[in-house]
Amino acid sequence: MTLKEKEIEEIDKSIKNKEDEKAKAKENLDKINADIENLKKENKEVQNKIDALNSNKENKENDKKSEENKLSQNEKKSQEISNENKEIEASVKENESKINALNTEKTNDQNNKAKLEGEKSTLEQGLSDKKKKLEELEKNNKSQVSEEDKKKAQAQWNRGSIGFFEKMKSDKALKVFTEIPENKKIVLMLHFF
């Protein structure tokens, strides 16, 4: 397993953990929202009772205070739940942000891996093509004249008649071109031919 594949596997695990946390947080959030709705209903019932007790104020003053205390406690609890709800929402947003960052990193890693694999494939194909070309050149080279032989032939050609007579090992003819003055060369050349 390559380093990139390990990183991707770790990112996948981290994403799954964050998604599990997000699901749990949503479950808690739904429960809290249900609790808030229940408290609102209960508060409404309490308020209705308070209103009923107020109509008979003199006889029910103690009951009213008791219900008001209960209402106050419920409002305090509702505020605490609301604050907790805000914290959970912030945590959910933070987890979503982390998941998005991890997904981006995973995508980048996968793209880099694909790019590297493409480059590897291109290089392998290039190497294979060059090996084939080298094999062809080696095969063709066996049936062709070597560079050294070509250079020797070109050097001889460049030397003209002197090169020809050197190749034939004709010392007398060479003397005609290298040692004898121009006017005597013609006579001697006729003599050789």
pLDDT tens digits for range 82-128: 898 898 899 889 988 999 999 899 999 999 899 988 888 888 898 88
How many domains does the structure of the chain reveal? 2
Distance in angstroms (rounded) separating the CA atoms of residues 97 and 155: 78
pLDDT > 70 in the chain, percent = 76
Does residue 55 form part of some domain?
A: no
Does residue 109 form part of some domain?
A: yes
152 and 138 in a common domain: no
169: left (phi over 0), alpha (psi -120 to 50) or beta: left
178 and 128 in a common domain: no
Does residue 38 form part of some domain?
A: no
Distance in angstroms (rounded) separating the CA atoms of residues 184 and 172: 13
Element (H, E) at 181: none
Tell me the residue range of the domain where 104 lies: 69-144
Q: What is the pTM of this model?
A: 0.35
Does residue 16 form part of some domain?
A: no
